[in-house]
Structure 1
Amino acid sequence: MTGNVTRWRDAQVSRRALLAGAGAGVLLAAVVPDWRTGSAFAAQSSVGSSGLPPIAPLPAGAPDRRAFTLEEQRLAPYLATLAPMVNEIVDDDGAALGWMSGGWWRTPAEPFNARIQEHVRTLAWFYAHERPWNPYSGDAALLARLDAAIHHYLRLQHADGSWPEYEPDEHSRAATAFALGYLSKTLEDLRDVDALPQTRTEISGALHRAMSWFLDPGNTGVWQTERIEFVNQPMAGLAGSALALRLDPDPGLQVLLLDRIDVIVANGQSPAGYFYEPLGMDIAYNLNVTLSEMIEILEQVDAPGLVGMVERLADWLGYNLVWEPDGAGFIANTAGSARTPMWFLDATTTEPQQRDLGSRFAPDVAAMRAFYTTIEDRTVQREAWAESAEPVLPQARGQTNPRIVVNIPYGEAYPSRADKDAAIAAMPVLAQNRFTELRRDPQGQHFLFARRPGIYTMAHFGPPSTSLVRSGLSLIWHPESGTFVHGSHNSNTECWGTVLPNGGTDAGASLAVAYFEGDPADGHAVEPEQVAGVHDLGLTWRTTLGNVTGAAVLEDDAITKRLVVTSDASEQVPLLLRTTDRLTWIGGNLESAEAGVTTQAKGLKVRRGRISLEINWSERLSAAIAPVDRHYFADRSRQVHMLRIAHPPQATIRYSIG
């Protein structure tokens, strides 16, 4: 048997352990180790050769919702999941002893994947924290299985201090970064209750080795010279290192930590405003992951440069998250995302949310208040949760997230409704009715944001940072009626673009862009630095192969597109429709536009209240609308429908709102 082994000193059985054995229907023998002398997982029982007794399931009716404080309600589903998850820790006396099997967290679900073990912090929290609703604090069986899980985690560490994720021999930046965080927090919990001293010593040694690898400026697997990729990962490693060094100070490593913080401030954020993921923009990772890691660093280290990063991110988000005037929430710049999709952000999100720790920035960075649930709404949610008669159910496999438990001690700072409303009103799209904002990245990417009195649009041009990005125009929004057109990423069938007969699209290509004062057909070219001052902006784009050339003019309440293609093609338009929208064909043989029906028409009108979006083309063309199985917001009040207009090699299509 690997790991540290201790003998059970007595045949005494604690009341809690007896209850655990009775609840599980298992006869336990000598289940009380000497926690002060070392490792606990050498217990003997009938459940496996290593002798790891199971922990008891919660009694019927537990947990009691009313027993939780409002802030700790998010722990309830983890409490309900704890016994199923902990009891699937491998308890045989083989190489996988302590592996957190069962597919509860991360893939691949293999014993070599160190990231699966991140739930050791979840186990440690429940062991170390007494609460009226927590029967597992001080639980002997839980500690024994936690100890086994820790030792499996530590056995996976390579000699250089790194951990693997996708392959046994991999030296993973992500796995090591997050190990630094979860293991340092586990160490802190074990010290707080003076449990497993020998294991704590081993954790301290593992953290020192990991920091020596991770903070090394010459480690190009973590630190790149010009732009740091996957910024959430090195930020997580810095957060874990900051706590580990508070627990076990090391002056040399502390110097490296402060140096690496300076480096990530300098090289981890695009001049456009986003944190690199991997080297492009990704709203979901920036909001949901990176900000929480930055909060953790600031808890341990004075690093004002990180706050400056958040201020620049908030400014960037002000152009990329667009408020819906009915108050449902924000529509996000999905097409430009280089990694994960984020189509929308509800005005009031449900719990538990990993991203909510970022609300801690709201008091100091006023613009961030727009993106968090208000304290009033969260309180109403939590009070209703406490009064619900529904049982608290275990979480589904694969849906548990150790980050939720990690966030609890750092608190929260949800904005008031008044502060959130003020932050939304101050966002550029609502505070101004005319601007042209062009953000560029040194890699050649252009992000264009154009507000006119009756319309807001955004676009991406230049080389996409990953193959997931979809370029060209991606949004049509109106200040009274909200979003009419919203393009997706990572799909040639759900983007706004020109689709070729082979299914390819200009939106999936690198688009060379040029800007003009007025219509490109008769206007004069302007440099990117001059775009902000242009009243009537024109632009052209061209694919690398030259098979699609496009031009557009942005007017006060319209966008006119002209296309020149080397073959017949289709204009593909992702309409974001509400159930009350009325669609009618213009100049066709049918009036009502029904899903799945192809017709000949000269245009389409989408009427929403007193406002309409009209899409007109110059001649009768074959067109159809098809729904997409994608709804927006918690109330599912919007659904994407794809409009496809088959057109000859040259076409003019005008989008006007009035």
Structure 2
Amino acid sequence: MTRDPSELSRRSLLLGALGMGAFGAAVQLAFPASADSPTLLPKVGAISSPSRALFAPNEQVLGRYLMSVTGMANDIVDYHGATYGFMGGGWWRSPDTQNPKNARTMEHIATLAWFYANKRDWNPYYLDPKLLSRLEAAIGYYTSLQFDDGSYPDWRDKSSLAATTFGMGVQAEAYVALRSVMMSDQAQQQLAQSLERSVKWFMNPEARHWRTPIPYFNQVLAGLVGAQRALEALDKPTTTQDAVNERTSFLVEHGQAPAGFLHEPYGVDFGYNFTVALPDVAWLYRHTSHPALLSLVQRYVEFMRYAVIPEPGTSELFHVPALHTRGAVSKLSRSAEEFMDRGALAKDFLEQVPEIALFFPTKSEKDKVRAAFLNSKKEIPPLSKPSGDPRIWMHGVLAPDGPSKTARDQVEAALPMLTSDRFVKRALGSVGDEYLFVRRPGYYAVGVFGEWMQGENSARQLGTLWSPLMGSILVSSNDDEAGTGWETIGPGGEFSTRRSSTVGRFVDARNGSSKSTLSADELSQQSGLFSQQAESEEGASQYATGWSYWDSSLRYSFITEQEGESTHRLPLVLKPSDVLTFADGSTYSAGDADRDVTTTSIILARGRQRVLFSWGTEPRQVALSPTDHEIAGGVVHAVAIVFEKQLHLNTVFLGDDPSSPVLVEAHRHESGEVSLRVTSSPALAGGEVSFDGSVATGKVSIPGVADYCVTEQTTAASEARTSTTGPAEVRFIATNSQGSTLAETVTPIV
């Protein structure tokens, strides 16, 4: 049965003659049907759950779709009215976008067409005339939504790139299915004409979606997949292979950041990059062998190897949430469940890009899931609305086996933060955003700096601070509703360093006052101390920040000229056995109620390891409260420090020996100067630390505060060392306020 002819142009008539308001009213009146509305289409009959043994392993993914076909087909509007043929029932797309104007709600035509056209022992819908009549109605309604220019609307009834490009893929799938069984000439013609117009609209190089840099990589890539599908399927395609190849090269050049991630919308987003785009990259590479696509995957995976972090003592990997612009992320999911393994088709690249194994379930894990499906005595359940994306089965039935456990373990063991304790990687985005990955013996720090765009969920400043011995210490969330992050909030909330843009530079010095700016190449070779200086794009009078990256510690500095109280927040991960200790000896543990304290420092103890957060000798008001953000086996707690004008916050990894009175570092600069850092315990209050050796003799006075203190100094190399860069050492002697020597240590100059 075909769609009611009186409805074929109803959308254009209503929009043109009545206006959008009248169309909305017409839809509301016609949908849902009243009890006495005549039904024009027969209902598809219910089915029983088939034997699971009938499914081939790669087609188990179709089981839940099979059990949804009757409901999905019978929810198609089957009475006279403006919505005749609309796929109701809320099977696909979020509830807030479920309306008859949204072309994306119609994408399950591909699902219904597959079950109609494919003969399987477990598929009772093969050549079912009732299913076909409802599918024809849906195709008629779907294609009537197309605008004159060839594009399709989203829920706002406006031309939408995503609605058009993802629609091209499912329409081509449905067209091929119907043609394979030589059924429904009218539906085939409607789909073919729709594809011809959509491809022509999409492939126009002057169209808005080709402006550079391309913001939404996944949507444009979906268009290239749709164009390639149409090229292969249609008798009279409206594009050529040369055109698809040229646009593919263009997309790779302008839709992938220099850093390697794919724009969403210019920044990183694992959900759209990996689970949406990469399967389409794999499909397009299968059909075109375009070399730029392989290069794209290699560059993407290389970037992501720095952006996931293993948690010690577990087999789990965690994202750096602050990097991601759209979907909130936490743990890296590598589920073998068919509906969770959404990037499965990208396993095509395992041989050429073996590092991609990091992100997939292993073959043995997939085999276990499929064996459980086979052996289950339960009926196969239908889809859970509205999560039944048709692309899951479209890619799932094609996906190869996953990596072996051995191969994935080897890739994981080769992650850069595990194989090296000294590197600096600075990666650039396409719109002034920059990503910094710093590994030092005591920690791994990942941050995002530079340009921030309004509406992004990604955060600026420090994203994640991780220790190879302690695991995740600080983690900024990208959940704009429930999360918190490393940020300094100005007086009266006038600005936030987490949600604003900065301009900065890197220097070979312990602070930003040096003129020895590091070039990109010099920064990547910097194995010792360096600093980062930045100021708000509104100017330094609003705020300026500085970071210094030592071997076992970091220093963050913030200065503003604005009057009033500012607040700095630490996103501190507390695990069940963690204990925080304040300067007065009082403690706080995970699960404790909100707390307000006045202190000069906080020490986090995790097992035998400790990390210090110190902001000098002046006690400051601090508020602690748990958030809803869980990651790495702990709960992120917001630690808010109140101050005025400036803050110098030191994070020091103290190690596992609380009796040690002093920790020291020494770093040589290209200028020949040497920067020293002394972290002293309360036992040295009022004392001093003297030094000599390969530096000019000097001393550091320790404040008379019964707390840990951090002191820095830059000095000249001794005369004997000024002309060489060979091995050098500094001797430190720590004496207390009574003049007794508590420690003597020799440390190499890095």
* TM tier relative to shorter chain: 0.7 to 0.9
Aligned partner of 1:612 in structure 2 is 610
2:363 alignment partner, one of 375, 385, 390: 375
One-letter amino acid of the structure 2 residue matched with residue 480 of structure 1: L
CA positional deviation for 1:64: 4.1
C-alpha distance after superposition, 1:329-373 (max 9, x if no partner): 322232132322222213545431322222222221112111111
8 Å CA contact 1:631, 1:640 repeated in 2: yes
Report the alpha carbon displacement of residue 399 of structure 1 after superposing the two structures with TM: 1.8
Report the counterpart of residue 540 of structure 1 in structure 2: 533
Q: Is the 8 A contact 1:541 1:549 kept in 2?
A: yes
Pairing 1:362–2:350 present: yes
Is the 1:269–1:309 Cα contact (8 Å) retained in structure 2? yes
Counterpart AA for 2:229: L
Q: Which moved more, 1:75-84 or 1:547-556?
A: 75-84
> In structure 1, how many angstroms separate the alpha carbons of the residues matched to 2:320 and 2:454?
15
Deviation at 1:490, TM superposition (A): 5.6
Q: 1:459-512: per-residue Cα shift (whole Å, max 9, x none)?
A: 111111443231111111112332121112364961211123434421111022
Aligned-residue offset at 1:2:
7.8
| Contact preservation (8 Å) 2:508, 2:516 | yes
Q: What is aligned with 2:556?
A: 561
1:74 aligned partner: 61
Identity %: 28
8 Å CA contact retained: 1:323, 1:329: yes
- Provide the secondary structure at the position in 1 that maps to 2:60: helix
Q: Which moved more, 1:481-490 or 1:92-101?
A: 481-490
Residue 286 of structure 2 aligns with which residue?
299
Q: Which amino acid aligns with 1:575?
A: L
Q: Which moved more, 1:47-56 or 1:432-441?
A: 47-56
CA contact (8 A) 1:3 1:151 kept: yes
Which amino acid in the other structure matches residue 253 of structure 2?
A: A
Which one of 107, 111, 132 corresponds to residue 122 of structure 1?
111
Name the residue aligned to 2:219: 233
**Which runs of no fewer than 5 residues in structure 2 stay unpaired?**
6-34, 656-750
Matched-pair contact (CA < 8 Å) for 2:213–2:430: no
Contact 2:199 2:238 in 1 (8 A): no
Counterpart-to-counterpart distance in 2, 1:432 and 1:453: 9
Higher relative contact order (CA 8 A, sep 6+): 1
The answer to whether residue 613 in structure 2 is matched with residue 656 in structure 1 is no
Report the CA distance between 1:166 and its aligned residue.
Answer: 3.1
Contact 2:426 2:435 in 1 (8 A): yes
Q: Distance in 2 between matches of 1:240 and 1:415?
A: 29
Matches within 5 A, 1:570-581: 570-579=567-576, 581=577
Question: Compared with structure 1, are the counterparts of its residues 389 and 211 closer, same or farther at alpha carbon in structure 2 (3 Å cutoff)?
Answer: same
Secondary structure of 1:213's counterpart equals helix
CA shift for structure 1 position 241: 1.1
Is the 2:2–2:186 contact (alpha carbons within 8 Å) kept by the matching residues of 1? no
SS at match of 1:598: strand
Flag the 1:190–1:638 CA change in 2: closer, same or farther, 3 A. farther
1:496–1:574 contact (8 Å) kept in structure 2: yes
Paired amino acid for 2:111: T
Offset, 1:249: 5.2
Contact 2:115–2:126, Cα closer than 8 Å, also in 1: yes
In structure 1, distance between residues paired with 2:214 and 2:165: 14
- Structure 1 position 462 matched with structure 2 position 450: yes
Counterpart of 1:393 (choices 381, 401, 406) is: 381
Q: What's 1:485 paired with?
A: 474
SS of residue matched to 2:619: strand
Which of 520, 545, 558 aligns to 2:511? It is 520
Distance 2:166 2:36 in 1: 32
Q: Does 1:337 align with 2:337?
A: no
Q: Which amino acid counterpart does residue 320 of structure 1 have in structure 2?
A: A
Tell me the alpha carbon deviations over residues 42-75 of structure 1, each in whole angstroms, 9 at most, x when there is no partner: xxxx99635222222333xx25444433322222
| Counterpart residue number, 2:640 | 644
Q: CA deviation at 1:141?
A: 1.8
* Contact 1:589 1:601 (8 Å CA) reproduced: no
Match in the other structure for 2:160: 172
- Give 2:492's match in structure 1, choosing from 480, 487, 502: 502
Q: What does 1:56-455 align with in structure 2 at a 5 Å threshold?
A: 56-59=45-48, 62-107=49-94, 108-168=97-157, 170-220=158-208, 222-224=209-211, 226-248=212-234, 250=236, 253-254=239-240, 255-348=242-335, 350-353=337-340, 354-455=342-443
C-alpha deviation, 1:548, in angstroms: 2.6
* 1:39-54 alignment runs, 5 A limit: 49=38, 51-54=40-43
What stretches of structure 1 of length at least 5 have no aligned partner? 6-45
The residue type paired with residue 78 of structure 2 is D
Cα distance change, pair 607–390 in 1 and its aligned pair in 2 (3 A):
farther
CA 1:126–1:2 in 2, change beyond 3 Å: closer, same or farther? closer
**Offset of residue 390 of structure 1:** 4.5
Does structure 1 retain, via aligned residues, the 8 Å contact 2:61–2:397?
A: no
CA distance in 1, matches of 2:276, 2:145: 25
Provide closer, same or farther for how the CA distance between residues 286 and 495 of structure 1 changes in structure 2, counting only shifts above 3 A: same
Task: Tell me the TM-score normalised to structure 2 length.
Answer: 0.77
- Structure 1 counterpart SS, 2:305: helix
Give the CA deviation at 1:379.
1.6
- For residues 139 and 501 of structure 1, the distance between their equivalents in structure 2, rounded to whole angstroms, comes to 68
* Pairs aligned (count): 610
Change (3 A) 1:595 1:360: farther
Separation of aligned partners in 1, 2:204 and 2:518 = 42
SS at match of 2:396: helix
Counterpart amino acid of residue 539 in structure 1: Q
User: Which stretches of structure 1, 4 residues or longer, exceed 6 Å deviation after superposition?
Assistant: none
Distance change in 2, residues 1:349/1:652 (3 Å): farther
Aligned partners of 1:413 and 1:537: how far apart in 2?
45
Query: In the alignment, is the contact (CA less than 8 A) between 2:512 and 2:532 conserved in 1?
Result: no
Q: Following TM superposition, by how much is the alpha carbon of 1:524 offset from its aligned partner in structure 2, in angstroms?
A: 4.2
SS of 2:506's partner is strand
| In structure 2, C-alpha distance between the alignment counterparts of 1:183 and 1:362, rounded to whole Å | 29
Cα distance between partner residues in 2 of 1:325 and 1:74? 34
Aligned-partner Cα distance in 2 for 1:306–1:356: 17
Deviations 1:206-246 (A, max 9, x none): 111111111111212x211x312201111001111111111
- 1:75 and 1:614 map into 2 onto residues whose CA distance is 53
Look up the SS of the partner of 1:49 in the other structure: coil
- Code of the aligned partner of 1:611: Q
What's 2:706 paired with?
none
The more displaced of 591-600 and 372-381 is 591-600
Q: Return the match for 1:597 from 591, 595, 598.
A: 595
Structure 1 distance, partners of 2:117, 2:612, is 62
**Residues in 1 aligned to 2:138 and 2:337: alpha-carbon distance in whole angstroms:** 31
* Deviation of 1:317 (Å): 0.7
Contact 2:344–2:396 under 8 Å retained in 1: no
Deviation, structure 1 residue 148 = 0.9
Separation (CA, whole Å) in 2 of partners of 1:505 and 1:189: 54
TM-score, normalization: structure 1?
0.87
When structure 1 is superposed on structure 2, of 448-457 and 618-627 the one drifting more is 618-627
Comparing 313-322 with 502-511, greater Cα deviation is found at 502-511
Give me the whole-angstrom Cα distance separating, in 2, the residues matched to 1:390 and 1:626: 44
Give the deviation of 1:650 after TM superposition. 2.2
Residues 70/595 of structure 1: CA separation in 2 closer, same or farther (3 Å cut): farther
Partner SS, residue 190 of structure 1: helix
Give the distance between the partners of 1:288 and 1:74, measured in 2 at CA.
16
